[in-house]
Structure 1
Amino acid sequence: MEEKTSAIIRSSVVSKGFLKEEEEMKNRACKKTKCELVGYDSLPDYLKDNEFILGYYRCEWPLKETILSIFSIHNETLNIWTHLIGFLIFLSLAIITAMVVQREMSTSSSMQKYYLGQVVGTNLTEGLFACLLTTSSPDELGHPKRYFHANNLSNPCILTTIKDDIANSIIPQTTIPQTPHLMNPITRWPFFAFLFGAMFCLLTSSICHLILCHSKQTAYVMLRLDYAGISALIVTSFYPLVYYSFLCQPFYCHLYMTFITTFGVATVSVLLVPALQTANFRLVRATLFFCMGVSGLVPVMHKLVSFNHRPEVIMSTGYEFLMGTFYGLGVVVYAARIPERWVPGRFDVVGHSHQLFHLLVIAGAYTHYLAGLVYLKWRDIDKC
């Protein structure tokens, strides 16, 4: 009986070991098959997006192999790397911009101390001497009058409250070079919001193109994340334009920022509908993003009418026009699938419309970054 039992156990162990080995062999064979590049006709419907790109597709690869495919050649390689490099560029710009702000503030503090020291060194002795020789009339309570710069700019006595009033009694009477370094910088949050929106868009796009092919569920999630990233870039691009242009007109500032934020949320909500993910609605998706971008013409025109005498406004508008040209051209190329529709299969790996769209998005975002620098320079000097 015991021998039969042990024989059954050994048979079961051998059988399990054989099944396990067979399963591993099948998995290896399956992975090997899945990790081959296939043609457009072999794709499931959810991966069919551009019938003019005929080959070099990854189809339902295991997650590990899908991630590692970032280092291999396929029709998404340049889509991944263009926006990944773009993300790193804008991350560097954000860090550099933050460091420059800190350096300017430090420079402002040190230069103010320098000029204060210069003024005190040259005028303090004369001021004290004049003060000691000056007999001030007492106030109603019989105490000597205190002289403040606000109502007695010509009085040389600076013995008011040395700690609180020394700067007020000396510096306003002295001409200090008014450079941007001596100004308190305007708030940077709208500018950094735009940089964050650009980085979010570029990073989510890169990740989407990398792992979209893994499974239907992954594609469902990543496409929506990609659309959210595009909307975030468009919405946050409005923030520097609106905030800095209408800094002294809070009604218009709040109106425009509320409108574009609401428009962006509504666009993302509409694009969450599964039916709009198919290739048949490519033009609808492009039109929604195009309308979001074109709505920026309203605050731009308003800015030009209100501040046409400011050179910063003219310069920033030029950058914004160039940005709109890049974005608009990108939408046209994306929707028309140029140039692969002219020669299907020729641009499968390099040069197809989505890669050109990515490059134009980076160019447009960088142009808007340059416009943002103009806004900062303007509002650092000229506040309300």
Structure 2
Amino acid sequence: MKKRRARSGFSYSRQAAAVGDGGGSKEKEKARVLLKYEALPEYLKDNEFIRDYYRCEWPLKDVLLSVFSLHNETFNIWTHFVGFMIFTGMMMMSLTEKMSMENVMATFFGERGDGWLTSKTINRSNASDSFFTDSYVGRIARSPVLHASKDSDSVPLWPWLVFLVGAMSCLIFSTVSHLFACHSRRFYYFFWRLDYAGIALMIICSFFAPIYYAFSDHPYWRFCYLSSITLVGFLVVLTLLAPALSSSRFRSLRAGLFLFMGFLGVIPATHAVILHWDHHQIRVSLVYEIVMGLLYGIGAFFYVTRIPERWKPGAFDIVGHSHQIFHVFVVAAALAHCAATLIIMEWRRGLPA
């Protein structure tokens, strides 16, 4: 059977039987073949609407090098690796005391982004009640939110760092899972369970900073919320460690568990708003959290429905399928949560100790 070359540089075959002539040559060819869905072993058949460009049981070296080639996991890998690098940058800025909304915008969007944030003059006494006014963001832009100083020692940095660690862990776990899971059945189950654990870890860690800062004056509630959410997250991870739940049949269950964990945040968020309704920053932060929830929800919708590839199987094998869209929404939601957390931190620093 004739073979043609994929753009990625790896050989491509429409049938697994088309691989090699035997012996060492067969093994070498197998390492560089992209397969169709029907040629995959059962454990790799996750999405029947992605019809082509599958890596299957490649040697580790070729799997690692495939990060620079074109196949149906390429953009799944890179969407979350880029997100990981963004949060790594935030971590480095935090640890070097250069983290502020202004610095974040200037770093990732250039002077134009920085200018947009600082374009409006802030007037504390005449601040608008609008949730979407730029003034609050501008106020944070001129304040080194995470810059350590004697005046801000009462507001610890560690809850913010916990969130960053959770986000970084989730994104890098996802990256390596999409890269290495095709190597073998053992790798498949190990890495996808690692991926699910990373998602749960990110959700848990996302609660730490806003709850810690919003309930600094209410240690009882702070303890109750953080311990409860951590316990639920631990139970979810234990549930998802079952190998059977890694199959595509339980896609909706996995999404439902993660959404359930996320929506547990509605309770402490509502409580915080009731306690601090007279503070504008809390209301603005709430809007960012609502945006975060919407982004996660939209991402989960694509993840479960497998739109758009179910509408036209094979048309979105490399670019534009649902899991890539889901990844983009996850990163966007995490960035919205970043903004909400920075606002709460700035608000807490402005309160008397």
Task: Give me the TM-score of the superposition, normalised by structure 1.
Answer: 0.72
* 1:1-384 mapped onto 2 (5 Å cutoff): 26-100=23-97, 183-185=151-153, 186-384=155-353
Gaps of 5+ in 1: 1-24, 104-178
**Letter of the aligned partner of 1:331 in structure 2?**
A
Return the structure number with greater helix share.
1
Structure-2 separation of matches of 1:102 and 1:300: 25
Q: Give per-residue Cα distances to partners, 1:118-158, cap 9 Å, x unaligned.
A: xxxxxxxxxxxxxxxxxxxxxxxxxxxxxxxxxxxxxxxxx
Which moves more between the two structures, 72-81 or 31-40? 31-40
**Letter of the aligned partner of 2:82 in structure 1?**
I
Contact 1:338 1:353 in 2 (8 A): yes
Superposed displacement of residue 102, structure 1:
9.0
**Letter of the aligned partner of 1:30 in structure 2?**
E
Q: Give per-residue Cα distances to partners, 1:167-203, cap 9 Å, x unaligned.
A: xxxxxxxxxxxx9877224101111100000000000
Structure-2 separation of matches of 1:224 and 1:323: 24
Other structure's SS at 1:183 match? helix
Contact 2:93 2:99 in 1 (8 A): no
Q: Aligned Cα RMSD in Å?
A: 1.7
**Letter of the aligned partner of 1:340 in structure 2?**
E
Gaps of 5+ in 2: 1-21, 101-143
Superposed displacement of residue 28, structure 1:
3.3
Superposed displacement of residue 383, structure 1:
4.6
**Letter of the aligned partner of 1:312 in structure 2?**
Q
Distance 1:352 1:197, change over 3 A: same
Structure-2 separation of matches of 1:258 and 1:187: 19
Distance 1:331 1:46, change over 3 A: same
Contact 1:31 1:62 in 2 (8 A): no
Superposed displacement of residue 376, structure 1:
1.5
**Letter of the aligned partner of 2:151 in structure 1?**
M
Which moves more between the two structures, 263-272 or 26-35? 26-35
Paired residues in the alignment total: 285
Which residue does 2:14 correspond to in 1? none
Structure-2 separation of matches of 1:102 and 1:82: 24
Superposed displacement of residue 31, structure 1:
2.2
Other structure's SS at 1:214 match? coil
Contact 1:39 1:55 in 2 (8 A): yes
Structure-1 separation of matches of 2:315 and 2:98: 48
Contact 1:58 1:213 in 2 (8 A): yes
Superposed displacement of residue 29, structure 1:
2.3
Contact 1:183 1:381 in 2 (8 A): no
**Letter of the aligned partner of 1:51 in structure 2?**
E
Structure-2 separation of matches of 1:32 and 1:102: 49
**Letter of the aligned partner of 1:355 in structure 2?**
Q
Superposed displacement of residue 352, structure 1:
0.3
Structure number with greater Rg is 1
Other structure's SS at 1:50 match? coil
Structure-1 separation of matches of 2:82 and 2:66: 16
**Letter of the aligned partner of 1:28 in structure 2?**
S
